[in-house]
């Protein structure tokens, strides 16, 4: 398979917008096209991610809509939906298109608009990503899913609510350095611990927000990318799944799909966790970051909470996690999240992340989780 | 890129079912796995198509759900949504995965369940595949879109309502030979002409039905497929788009995305329209079949109506179109339709289509159209 690189990235401000998701994507795509220094007509295919557009915007079939708004309405387009991992999945398939030699330059991205609808409706639509027969019917929305995971991790490893709070504090500290983040204000451990319970043991400030936003990437084959000094190479990209049913998962303190995808991507790239300099991972809830840092191999099982408390995952720490602010502070426009993470890692590996730059970062990892932990994608990126 | 073949196919009965779409898919997938004579654990990825599951079943994130029901919950899965072309798009991406050397054996398919919801709700959800800003808001549902196309074709070429009726009569005649078809009863030209107008000039019997159903394919790399004498080879697969906005289309009597995708696939396969022996194409409305037979190059523009009237597209005619009964009589479970068409062409090229067999068919074509003609996929298949 041919080598593939990211040659351009674009991200809207994350937060509340009064535009359609397709318009948000178009803004991000325009930025990515300028960043890549290509003409729009050079783009040969569009990989588009969106999750709840049917429910929230009465809009399916968004691929050609997005391409039409970009002024390139004749290219092949596909919409992807893999719950919150949607645009990371789109990215992996785009890498295969270039790898197979079908196209040389491809755009990948996604967008979501949910802040135009009531919070209870958004919560219901997000819950469609869990099983309709066994889980939605008993009211198991995502705070409940991750509360089960948190409780299992606390029971098995002694992880504390304070440790989880440290994840939120760290990601808000990072978000304050990111002008595109939804929340750019620091918070304290006490603020997290004193916020209202949403699903015990998770409190309001353990949870990422609902977010509008778009993100876009321009990918290119080696022949195109090697002429561009700011290219960031895809060293590996892998997906894995797990049973859709929470009641079939044997150990809720682990996310098996993360572990599977991580093993596969390290093998593909010839890397190990110690080679990774910077990480954007799926912190939809604080416990999700703790479990992911373990599943990705940065810490032994049960040590993720302590690592967060000790500051090992902050900027300047052993392994900086979510320098962008993560889903927690940067925001979580679900269809755009995976592409947004890749945009951040690209920016970091280029050394262009300004005050949130991880100094000397040469290898980066992105991790995106879908739904009730049934889908995970993990990718590795490098310079040169 | 490596060569790819279809080595197994499965299709549920199309029509009304009292099961979820994921369960319908599982039935089709089980049939495809048995037909391919592989073990489920040999399948390395699942490409899953569904359009309105969020709206109609409160179920997104269907990839891992489908894999879980198949007993292979750990493999990478992706859900695709490209309006009515959904599972044909999934197929094209799966061919790229195998072509790129990422996997050797992949499952593709899709399912839809809509007959559990009221017809007006289904009509609304389907309309989400047209533009929410300019088209849904003025009540332009799909019968209206294709009525505009029909009127343009009638004005430009003199195509008649009788000619359109002949398409319906032919596809019902074919459907009567297909035990999996939703409608297995012959109809007459008079019945079509005397049925109620839905959107002038289209009448009830010019329209395909709402349908529940599932379809699945097992694809394999050359190394696997060449040991299997019933393998049907993918000679080419292409996608093209057109502007999402009806008001931007310059000539409503043509579907430009069909013409673009057809040119590309003939070039890829080194074939021309006269090489094609059997066709499954997207007859969501009778006029759609007439326009498609022109866009695919079987007849000159304006001659599709006369060709239908003369019987050239029937079994035993110059170029048999929709021997399965097509969307019109076999039915149109939108997320399953593209995979279902490929299953039919595979069956035809194997010589296993029984009373609806196109004798001596060696090259087949599938064509699937999405939404307001903004997405089209065309693929070519052959024996040996």
Nearest by CB to residue B244, choosing from A68, A133, A136, is A68
Average of pLDDT values for A224-236?
A: 97
User: Which string of b and e fits A210-243 if b means at least 16 CB within 10 Å?
Assistant: bbbbbbbbbbbbbebbeeeebbbbbbbbbbbbbb
Helices (H), chain A: 21-36, 53-57, 62-69, 86-99, 119-127, 142-157, 161-175, 189-193, 222-225, 256-269, 286-295, 304-309, 326-329, 334-350
Could you tell me if A78 lies within 8 Å of chain B, comparing CB atoms? yes
Of A96, A128, A260, the CB nearest to B58: A128
Nearest Cα to Cα of residue A383 among A224, A234, A227, A217: A234
Report, as an integer, the average pLDDT of B78-107: 98
A208/A332 Cα distance (integer angstroms): 7
Sign of CA dihedral A64, A67, A68, A73: negative
Same domain flag for B10 and B49: yes
Residue A1 reports pLDDT greater than 90: no
Q: Is the pLDDT of residue A196 over 80?
A: yes
Q: Are both B216 and B194 inside the same structural domain?
A: no
Nearest Cβ partner of B54 from A64, A128, A130? A128
Cβ <8 Å between B58 and A20: no
Q: What is the pLDDT of residue B139?
A: 92
pLDDT band at A110 (very low <50, low <70, confident <90, very high): very high
Q: Are A184 and A273 in the same domain?
A: yes
Per-residue model confidence as pLDDT tens digits over B109-135: 999 999 999 999 999 999 999 999 999
Q: Which residues pair with B321 in a beta bridge?
A: B279
**Cβ A74–B256 below 8 Å, yes or no?**
yes
Tell me which residues of A are annotated as active site.
Answer: 84, 332
DSSP string covering A208-225: PPP-BEEEEEEEEEHHHH
Would you say residue A336 lies in a domain? no
Whether pLDDT at B80 is above 80: yes
Q: CB-side exposure of A94: number of CA atoms within 13 Å? A: 37
Phi and psi based region of residue B175 (left: phi greater than 0; alpha: psi -120 to 50; beta: remaining):
alpha
Of residues B360, B286, B284, the one with CA closest to residue B320: B360
Same domain, A253 and A279: yes
Query: Residue B68: CB partners within 8 Å, gap ≥ 6?
Result: A243, A244, A245, A248, A374
CA distances from A131 to A54, B122, B173, B213 (A): 18, 22, 40, 20
Mean pLDDT of A6-15: 98
A256 shares a domain with A168? yes
Is the pLDDT at B160 greater than 80? The verdict is yes
- Closest among B279, B303, B58, B297 to B170, alpha carbons compared: B279
Q: Are residues A110 and A245 in the same domain?
A: no
Look at residues B96, B64, B91 and name the one whose alpha carbon lies nearest to residue B77: B64
B332 counts as catalytic: yes
A153 and A8 both lie in a single domain: no
CB proximity under 8 Å: A 169-228 to B: none
CB contact under 8 A, B79 and A77: no
In a domain, A124, yes or no: no
State whether A52 and B52 contact (CB < 8 Å).
no
Share of chain A above pLDDT 70, in %: 100
Residue B268: burial class (beta carbons within 10 Å; 0-12, 13-18, 19+) = middle
Show the domain range for B378: 124-207+236-382
pLDDT per residue as tens digits for the range A39-98: 999 999 999 999 999 999 999 999 999 999 999 999 999 999 999 999 999 999 999 999
Decide if B63 and A82 are in contact by the 8 Å CB cutoff: yes
Q: From the candidates A238, A244, A265, A369, which should be mutated to test the interface with B, based on the most B CB atoms within 10 A?
A: A244
- pLDDT of B146 over the 90 cut: yes
Burial (Cβ within 10 Å: 0-12, 13-18, ≥19) of residue B124: middle
The answer on A183 and A95 residing in a single domain is no
Q: Does some domain include residue A340?
A: no
CATH of the domain at B182: 3.40.47.10
pLDDT at B262: 98
Residue A165 lies in a domain: yes
Q: Does residue B228 sit in the same domain as residue B285?
A: no
- A-chain residues within 8 Å CB-CB of B65? 131, 244, 374
Residue of B53, B109, B79, B82 whose CA lies nearest to B370 = B82
Pick from A15, A329, A306: nearest CA to A176: A329
Number of domains in chain B: 2
Q: At what angle do helices B337-350 and B86-99 cross, to 10 degrees?
A: 60
List all residues 6 or more positions away from A307 whose beta carbon is below 8 Å from its beta carbon: A293, A298, A299, A313, A318
Residue A201 to residues A254, A286, A296, A369, Cα–Cα distance (Å): 17, 11, 24, 21
**pLDDT-derived band at A307, boundaries 50, 70, 90:** very high
Q: Which of A3, A41, A44, A61 to mutate to test the interface with B (most CBs of B within 10 A)?
A: A61
Touching A: B residues 280-299, CB under 8 Å: none
pLDDT digits (tens, 9 = 90+) for B318-336: 999 999 999 999 999 999 9
For residue A333, tell me if it sits in a domain.
no
Question: pLDDT per residue over A326-376, tens digit each?
Answer: 999 999 999 999 999 999 999 999 999 999 999 999 999 999 999 999 999
Q: How far apart are CA B10 and CA B214, in angstroms?
A: 8
Residue A249 has pLDDT above 80, yes or no: yes
Phi and psi, residue A64, nearest 5°: -65, -30
Q: Is residue A334 part of a domain?
A: no
Residues 6+ apart with CB under 8 A from A348: A278, A323, A357, A358, A361, A364
Q: What pLDDT shows up at residue B99? A: 97
Mean pLDDT of chain B: 97
Would the pLDDT of A12 be above 90?
yes
Residues B183 and B293 in one domain: yes
Cβ–Cβ gap B97/A101 under 8 Å = no
Mean pLDDT, rounded, for B215-225: 98
Reported as a pLDDT band with limits 50, 70 and 90, residue A233 is very high
Cα-Cα end-to-end distance for chain A? 18
Non-local CB neighbours of B252 within 8 Å, separated by 6+ positions: B148, B149, B151, B152, B153, B246
Q: Give the mean pLDDT of B55-84.
A: 98
Q: Which of A163, A198, A232 is the last residue of a domain?
A: A232
B59: chain A residues, CB-CB within 8 Å:
128, 131-132
Contacts of B373 (CB under 8 A, 6+ apart): B145, B149, B242, B249, B255, B256, B257, B258
Residues A165 and A225 in one domain: no
pLDDT in tens, A153-163: 999 999 999 99
Q: Is residue A50 part of a domain?
A: yes
For residue A258, the chain B residue with the least C-alpha distance is B74
Q: Going by C-beta distance under 8 Å and a sequence separation of 6 or more, which residues neighbour residue B186?
A: B169, B172, B173, B176
Q: Do B107 and B142 share a domain, yes or no?
A: no
> Which chain B residue shows the shortest CA-CA distance from A83?
B61
Percent of chain B exceeding pLDDT 90 equals 99
Tell me what the mean pLDDT of segment B190-194 comes to: 98
**What is the complex's ipTM, to 2 decimals?**
0.97
pLDDT band at B1 (very low <50, low <70, confident <90, very high): confident
Q: Chain A closest CA to B197's CA: distance in Å?
A: 27
A122 domain residue, yes or no: no
Closest to B56 (Cα-Cα) out of B124, B157, B158:
B124
Q: How long is chain B?
A: 384
Is there a contact between A79 and B75 if contact means CB atoms under 8 Å apart? Answer: no
């Amino acid at each position: 398979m041919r080598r593939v690189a990211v040659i351009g990235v674009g991200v809207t401000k994350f937060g509340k917008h009064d535009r359609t998701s397709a318009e948000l994507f178009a803004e991000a795509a325009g930025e990515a096209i300028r960043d890549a220094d290509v003409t729009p007509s050079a783009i040969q295919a569009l990989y588009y991610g969106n999750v709840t557009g049917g429910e929230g915007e009465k809009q399916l079939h968004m691929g050609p809509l997005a391409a039409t708004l970009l002024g390139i309405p004749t290219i092949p387009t596909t919409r992807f939906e893999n719950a919150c991992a949607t645009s990371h999945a789109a990215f992996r398939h785009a890498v295969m298109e270039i790898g197979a030699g079908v196209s040389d330059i491809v755009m990948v991205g996604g967008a979501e608009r949910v802040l135009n609808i009531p919070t209870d409706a958004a919560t219901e639509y997000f819950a469609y990503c869990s099983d309709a027969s066994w889980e939605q019917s008993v009211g198991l929305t995502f705070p409940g899913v991750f509360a089960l995971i948190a409780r299992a991790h606390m029971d098995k490893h002694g992880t504390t609510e304070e440790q989880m709070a440290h994840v939120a504090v760290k990601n808000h500290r990072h978000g304050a350095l990111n002008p595109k983040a939804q929340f750019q204000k620091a918070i304290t451990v006490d603020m997290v611990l004193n916020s209202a319970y949403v699903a015990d043991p998770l409190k309001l400030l353990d949870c990422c927000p609902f977010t509008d936003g778009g993100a876009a990437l321009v990918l290119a084959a080696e022949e195109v990318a090697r002429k561009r000094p700011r290219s960031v190479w895809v060293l590996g990209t892998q997906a894995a799944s797990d049973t859709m049913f929470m009641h079939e998962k044997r150990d809720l303190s682990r996310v098996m799909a993360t572990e599977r995808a991580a093993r596969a991507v390290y093998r593909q790239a010839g890397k190990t966790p110690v080679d990774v300099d910077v990480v954007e991972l799926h912190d939809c809830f604080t416990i999700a970051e703790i479990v992911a840092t373990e599943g990705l191999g940065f810490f032994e099982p049960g040590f993720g909470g302590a690592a967060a408390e000790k500051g090992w995952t902050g900027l300047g720490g052993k392994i900086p996690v979510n320098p962008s602010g993560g889903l927690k502070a940067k925001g979580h426009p679900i269809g755009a999240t995976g592409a947004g993470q890749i945009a951040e890692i690209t920016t970091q590996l280029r050394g262009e992340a300004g005050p949130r730059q991880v100094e000397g970062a040469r290898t980066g990892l992105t991790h995106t989780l879908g739904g009730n932990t049934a889908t995970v994608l993990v990718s590795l990126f490098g310079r040169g």
